[in-house]
Structure 1
Amino acid sequence: MTSSEYGQFRPPRPQRPQRGRRRGGGGRRGDELMVPQAQVEHLDENGYYGHPVVKAPPWETPVGAYLVLGGIAGGSGLLAAGAQLTGRKVLRRNARLAGLGAAGAGALALVADLGRPERFLHMMRTFKVTSPMSVGSWILMGYSGMIGVAAASEVDALTGDRLPLGRLRPLLRALEGPAGLGAAAMGAPLAAYTAVLLGDTAMPTWNAMHRDLPFVFVSSASLAAGGLALITTPAAEAGPARNLAVLGVIGDVAATRLMEQRMDPVAAEPLHHGGPGKLMRWAERLAVAGGVGALIAGGRQGRGRRALAAAAGGALVAASTCTRFGVFHAGLESARDPRYTIEPQKRRLAARRAAGVTGDSITGL
């Protein structure tokens, strides 16, 4: 007979009814059922015997860092392509290097969470279109390869063609442009796929925001990439970065507010309380402050312009970091309290019954 680690939480086994006997000594079954009707008596807002209804994933800080770095990488790839098409060489170089650096650091954070590097390689053995994690792994690898080619060409030019490339240098120069555009094409999916990954889980808060979280993450990536470019790029070439950052701020604030309104009010609570609530409030404050600072810096002249632009850029990067860590911790927090799972389920069940939907596996009628 096998036992389970959850055996200690099971209710006592009910006594089986005794079989009745006829006067002649013959036995027959009693009128009671041999197996009593199943009753769920211990599942309520406190969970099953006080334990969570859903199990939170074993994700820690490196996964939150990967969410932030993936957004910066995706937005930087898009910004670099815009600079490439408009002839802004300094902005193109800085954005490509930022995209490669963020993608590389994000991959290291992902490997750190997995524990062993070979686990990441195992994820590349197959491509499963129904798995956001599988698709995202291939997006990360494809983006990293293309932004790596473009960034290598920038480094070679920056060092005066001193990289030991030999006969590969003409090939690198020929592939630089297409690789930069290819990285831009994969930039938006890289910034958004992590939102799809979170929304596809059973964590109540993440699942409740699955329709709107991709828009929040794409906007967050735009303002982060634009903010980083404001820090590294002279004001004369930072115009597209400033525009991308301001548009990202508008999209981020609007998409976050709309997402919270469309969520179940109970599932949205972790976004407003505790540590996640503080992060989300600071994310909005920093985003608005950074966007206003970027606009003011764009209209100023003189030495203070670059300093103000850098300060605004730092606020924007911090805002994106707060948004993604806030969402990350809110989802984990919602898994710890059974109330966030059970109350929205009861509301959805009542709504289906009120709409006349019965006789299925959800209503149970």
Structure 2
Amino acid sequence: MTVSEFDSYRPPEKPRRRRGRRGRPGGGPRPGALDGSREMAMVPEVEFSSYYNRPIVKAPPWESPIGIYLFLGGVAGGSALLGFGAQLTGNDTLRRNSRISAVGAASLGAGALVLDLGRPERFLNMFRTLKVSSPMSVGSWILGAFSAGAGVAAVADVDRMTGERLPLGPLRGLLRLMEAPAAGVAAVCAAPLAAYTGVLLSDTANPTWNAAKEDLSFVFVSSASMAAGGLAMVTTPVADAGPARVLAITGAAAELVADEVMERRMDPVAAEPLHHGAPGTMLRWAKRLSAVGGAGAVLASVTRSRTVAVASGAALMTASALTRFGVLHAGLESVHDPRYVIEPQKRRLEQRRQRGVTDDSITTAE
């Protein structure tokens, strides 16, 4: 039965008198007949649909290469930050491994981005202008500045590792001079590189990503920290990987908390794709591996076991990758059901009306 807000203005109806049927003891209708005291629903339940079954919100043409880029961008940012800390504390082994990891992850991530774009010149066209209001434009410049700084720092370490056999000639002195400032530039760009992809996703009309706009960047930064710490645990001896274990443990704990807070603050309907299907499976395993990897990092700190360190580091990297892919595919799937667009939209509109905002339309989003 449907109700209307105008029902409260109708006058009360007089109670109806029941009349029994002649020939039936006690009156009342014959079995199976309607007695008129119950009203049947005349309007069927609402089913959300769209014109010609087309999605209300167009899905972005993003596939697996973007998921790889999201993951590797976080690894690159976290590794550069870890390498800069190792530079300040004199941990040469951790500094070298983290710098090489940072530039390697940034290079592979840029390659995945170019693969998704289809043609390399499209990536270069992103640097033709800087549009502050565009997360994609700002992110491209962050990636460019980060890659330049991380590249210079990594080349300096590779040159030392090979006994200065790189054919640098007179540029070697300039490289030594620019090494520390370049590493600093990469460290400054590290956190924005890890966070901007969260802004990039949530700054769309996609219902699931947009509903997570307050917390998605925090999830991605935490995920990047545990991935970078996990990679350093795999590549660096246990004796030199103390800061990496601290970063991994902190990142794993922060990722679990940030993910829980994000899901609690999201619209419950818009959050459904995070729990169902393949994205739900990936995100559930991401949480499990984060917890297991974090516990393994603690155990590695106590036992000084190289095997435990490598296993926990691999678990943390896998968890970070599953988080990025899970969020990506949950958003891609959320556009296929009109319900994920319409219900949160109507709920936002009702909340605005309760606050006295009545001069908007149903398409208004906060």
TM-score (norm 1): 0.86
Question: CA separation in 2, counterparts of 1:89 and 1:214?
Answer: 31
| CA deviation profile, 1:286-338 (whole Å, cap 9, x unmatched) | 0000000000011114xxx0011000000000000000000000000111111
Map of 1:230 onto structure 2: 233
Could you tell me how far 1:193 is from its partner in structure 2? 0.4
Map of 1:241 onto structure 2: 244
| CA deviation profile, 1:84-105 (whole Å, cap 9, x unmatched) | 0000000000000000000000
Q: Which amino acid aligns with 1:145?
A: A
Matches within 5 A, 1:326-337: 326-337=326-337
Question: CA separation in 2, counterparts of 1:152 and 1:326?
Answer: 34
Q: Does the CA contact (< 8 Å) of 1:249 and 1:291 recur in 2? A: yes
The runs of 4+ residues in structure 1 deviating greater than 4 Å are: none
Q: Does the CA contact (< 8 Å) of 2:199 and 2:213 recur in 1? A: yes
Residue segments in structure 2 that go unaligned for 5+ positions in a row: 1-45
The structure that has the greater radius of gyration is 2
Determine helix, strand or coil for the equivalent of 1:46.
Answer: coil
Map of 2:351 onto structure 1: 351
Q: Does the CA contact (< 8 Å) of 1:353 and 1:363 recur in 2? A: no
Q: Does the CA contact (< 8 Å) of 1:47 and 1:339 recur in 2? A: no
Could you tell me how far 1:80 is from its partner in structure 2? 0.3
2:181 is equivalent to residue 209 of structure 1: no
Map of 2:102 onto structure 1: 99
Matches within 5 A, 1:29-48: 45-48=48-51
2:149 is equivalent to residue 146 of structure 1: yes
| CA deviation profile, 1:248-281 (whole Å, cap 9, x unmatched) | 0111000000000000000000000000000100
Q: Which amino acid aligns with 1:308?
A: V
Q: Which amino acid aligns with 1:75?
A: G
Matches within 5 A, 1:104-119: 104-119=107-122
Q: Which amino acid aligns with 2:141?
A: W
Q: Which amino acid aligns with 1:185?
A: V
Q: Which amino acid aligns with 1:307?
A: T
Determine helix, strand or coil for the equivalent of 1:360.
Answer: coil
Could you tell me how far 1:46 is from its partner in structure 2? 1.6
Question: CA separation in 2, counterparts of 1:201 and 1:44?
Answer: 25
Could you tell me how far 1:361 is from its partner in structure 2? 3.7
Map of 2:183 onto structure 1: 180
Distance 1:324 1:103, change over 3 A: same
Matches within 5 A, 1:285-324: 285-301=288-304, 305-324=305-324
Matches within 5 A, 1:254-293: 254-293=257-296
Map of 2:41 onto structure 1: none
Map of 2:40 onto structure 1: none
Could you tell me how far 1:52 is from its partner in structure 2? 1.0
Question: CA separation in 2, counterparts of 1:216 and 1:145?
Answer: 26
Distance 1:240 1:363, change over 3 A: closer
Determine helix, strand or coil for the equivalent of 2:164.
Answer: coil
Question: CA separation in 2, counterparts of 1:336 and 1:95?
Answer: 41
Question: CA separation in 2, counterparts of 1:253 and 1:121?
Answer: 36
Residue from 159, 164, 178 that aligns with 2:162: 159
Determine helix, strand or coil for the equivalent of 2:356.
Answer: coil
Question: CA separation in 2, counterparts of 1:68 and 1:273?
Answer: 22
Distance 1:234 1:130, change over 3 A: same
| CA deviation profile, 1:196-230 (whole Å, cap 9, x unmatched) | 00000110000000110010000000000000000
Map of 1:60 onto structure 2: 63
Q: Which amino acid aligns with 2:95?
A: R
Could you tell me how far 1:44 is from its partner in structure 2? 6.2
Percent of matched pairs sharing the same residue: 64
Q: Does the CA contact (< 8 Å) of 1:229 and 1:241 recur in 2? A: yes
Q: Does the CA contact (< 8 Å) of 1:44 and 1:342 recur in 2? A: no
State how many pairs are aligned. Answer: 319
Map of 2:224 onto structure 1: 221
Distance 1:90 1:147, change over 3 A: same
Q: Does the CA contact (< 8 Å) of 2:117 and 2:123 recur in 1? A: yes
Map of 2:26 onto structure 1: none
Question: CA separation in 2, counterparts of 1:237 and 1:247?
Answer: 18
Q: Which amino acid aligns with 2:80?
A: G
Determine helix, strand or coil for the equivalent of 2:168.
Answer: coil
Could you tell me how far 1:360 is from its partner in structure 2? 2.9
Residue from 67, 82, 85 that aligns with 2:85: 82
Determine helix, strand or coil for the equivalent of 2:280.
Answer: helix
Residue segments in structure 1 that go unaligned for 5+ positions in a row: 1-42
Question: CA separation in 2, counterparts of 1:144 and 1:308?
Answer: 32
Could you tell me how far 1:355 is from its partner in structure 2? 2.6
Determine helix, strand or coil for the equivalent of 1:170.
Answer: helix
Q: Does the CA contact (< 8 Å) of 2:297 and 2:313 recur in 1? A: yes
Q: Does the CA contact (< 8 Å) of 2:346 and 2:362 recur in 1? A: no
Could you tell me how far 1:353 is from its partner in structure 2? 2.0
Distance 1:363 1:113, change over 3 A: closer
